[in-house]
Amino acid sequence: MVRHRHHISKNFVYFLAKQRDGEPKQDDSQPDQHKVSNVLDKLLLAVGREALRETAPSLQALEQILQDILVQELRTDYQKNNIYNSKMLQPSESITVEDLCRSGMPIVRQLIGKGYLKDSPRWLSNKGFKDIGRKILNDVLKALKPGDFGMHESKNIGAGSFLLDTTREYEQGNDFNLINVPKSLLNTIQRQAGSNRKLEIPFDFHIEDFEEYETVQDLSMAVVYCIDLSSTMRYSTMFGDLSRIEAAKRALWSLYILNRKSFPSDSVYIVGFGALASKVAPQDIPYLKTFEPGSDFLHYTNYQAAFRLASKILQRDGAFNKRIVLITDGHPSACFIDDKSEQDMILSQRPYSHFYTPSKELLDSIKLHQDIKLETGSGELIYLCYRYRQVDPYIGQRTIVEARKCRNKGIVVDTIMISEDDSLLGYVNEMEKYVKGRSYYINPGSIDKILLNDYLENKKQTIHAQQ
């Protein structure tokens, strides 16, 4: 049950007095649907923002946050329109300001009734996950401008499924429906004007005047996004109020919604990793948390764990095009030790090296409290070595070897580094050089645009009609 304690004193903000005698009657025959949806969008986006936090608020705390937003929205509305004690907006398809104000029920209770929330520690429902994700996606797409970020495209020959803005000379036998009529007409006029001929209608078209649109071919693909859950990902950024992990989760949330909406034949998987890795259900993206430093060492960064689990996932997927995208804020500080001889060799060179095997009690606790099942099949004994702004040579070498194994299996490996500090980009660039992949260094405030742009560009091949 949702308790309403501490919120009774603010119930007055939900109600409006009746119209006073002598005041002009507001014409509400044309409901302001934009204003209605805008209020709901603000409330749901606030719910999404709170769900992304490292420590999500309780439903009681969420109620207070939403009440504050509604109060501010009503004040803004009255100040802008100078409306006093007038009838509220007409109902829309889901939930309106009128619903919120007249019912006297807490906002959280109403959102539960509408199916956006549920009375649970993880209070985001499946409907809430999808609808809020769509609103986040719309925000990202609005901010995404063509040409903001350069991406590589592979060129091929064949039939395409999407039109591009670019054109090429028409070749006989190609699809005539792809003709760019305005450009072709302009070519005819320019040709006739250049030959000093009088322009007459109908125009005398020549085959060389025609230009056709280029198209792009939609590629079916399987991609695993490996998100770093090491302790440094919780750091706040200088770009807005999102931490690194929150910015990454927001980007993955919108990306998954885009995938389900526009490219349902694609496979998008999520892996969270620290010293060990775990497959994450897409609906659990908002609930991902970083590992706590202290009694255990799961907060270290083991690229190898991410690569091994992602590779297993992709090997079971039948897609021809396979990618791993590593999202991290730093360099690797851990790797697996596959046999005793490796451990002995490291100890002979570094006698004070640290090795770690998570206990069953710890793994069970992580599963119980974070609902994450850490995968130990890829390796159990972990070599730990954190160096400030440096990568331990052995860990660096073993990580690159693992990335090359993925490449040899036909898996493209790319890395997105989200940080305000570019001093660690050197190792990432070196690793990508070995696997012929790409590396991006961005501030956390841009990760959502980078991720969506990268995904969309990798969905295309430029088609030049026929050879």
Q: Specify whether the CB–CB gap between 299 and 290 falls below 8 A.
A: yes
Supply 284's token pair. Answer: 């659990």
Angstrom distance (rounded) from CA 415 to CA 245 = 16
85 membership: H or E segment, kind and range:
none
Tokens at residue 421, please? 């500090």
Question: 3-state DSSP call for residue 451?
Answer: helix
134/44 Cα distance (integer angstroms):
11
Which residues are paired to 224 by β-bridges? 269, 324
Contact predicate 228/317, CB 8 Å: no
Q: What pLDDT score was predicted for residue 217?
A: 54
pLDDT at 158: 28
DSSP H or E run through 2: none
**Helix, strand, coil content of the chain in percent (nearest 5):** 45, 15, 40
Could you list the mean pLDDT of each consecutive 10-residue stretch along the chain, which spans 467 residues?
A: 34 30 42 52 89 90 89 67 42 49 76 91 92 89 55 30 61 74 81 73 77 68 93 74 87 90 88 95 92 83 96 91 91 91 89 89 87 88 87 93 95 86 78 86 79 76 37
Is 310:326 a contact under the CB 8 Å cutoff? no
**Tokens for 463?**
């088609």
Residue 151 in contact with residue 457, Cβ under 8 Å? yes
Give the pLDDT confidence score for residue 253 in this predicted structure. 94
Q: Residues 418, 328: contact at Cβ < 8 Å?
A: yes
CA angle 366, 368, 369 (to 5 degrees): 70
Contact 390, 378 (CB under 8 A): no
Residues linked to residue 169 through DSSP beta bridges, in sequence order: 211
* Contact of 46 with 123, CB cutoff 8 Å: no
CATH architecture, domain defined by 218-463? 3-Layer(aba) Sandwich (3.40)
Q: How many CA atoms are closer than 13 Å to the CA of 458, on its beta-carbon side? A: 22
Q: Provide CB contacts within 8 A for 262, sequence distance 6+.
A: none
H or E stretch including 301?
Answer: none
3-class DSSP state of 219: coil
* 265 vs 78: CA distance, rounded Å: 47
What SS3 class is residue 250? helix
Q: How far is CA 244 from CA 75, 227, 255, 417, 442, in A?
A: 33, 11, 17, 10, 11
- pLDDT number for residue 164: 53
For residue 148, what pLDDT is reported? 42
Contact criterion met (CB below 8 Å) for 333 and 385: yes
Direct distance between the N- and C-terminal alpha carbons of the chain, in angstroms, rounded to an integer? 67
pLDDT at 10: 31
Q: Are strands 382-384 and 154-156 parallel, antiparallel or unpaired?
A: unpaired
Q: What is the pLDDT of residue 421?
A: 66
Residue 198's CB: how many other CB atoms inside 10 A?
6
HSE-up of residue 207 (Cα within 13 Å, Cβ side): 6
Q: Where are the alpha helices (DSSP H) in 295-350?
A: 303-315, 340-349
Determine if the peptide bond prior to 202 is cis (ω within 30°): yes
How many C-beta atoms lie closer than 10 Å to residue 100's C-beta? 25
The dihedral formed by the CA atoms of 63, 67, 69 and 73, expressed in degrees to the nearest 10 = 150
Compute CA distances 51 → 46, 117, 215, whole Å. 9, 11, 40
Domain boundaries, the chain: 8-19+30-124, 171-209, 218-463
pTM for the structure as a whole: 0.72
pLDDT at 404: 95
User: Can you say how many angstroms the Cα of residue 445 is from the centroid of all Cα atoms in its chain?
Assistant: 12
- What is the 8-class DSSP label of residue 198? P
Report d(CA 114, CA 454) in Å as an integer: 35
Element housing 169 (H / E): strand 162-169
Q: How far apart are CA 422 and CA 443, in angstroms?
A: 10
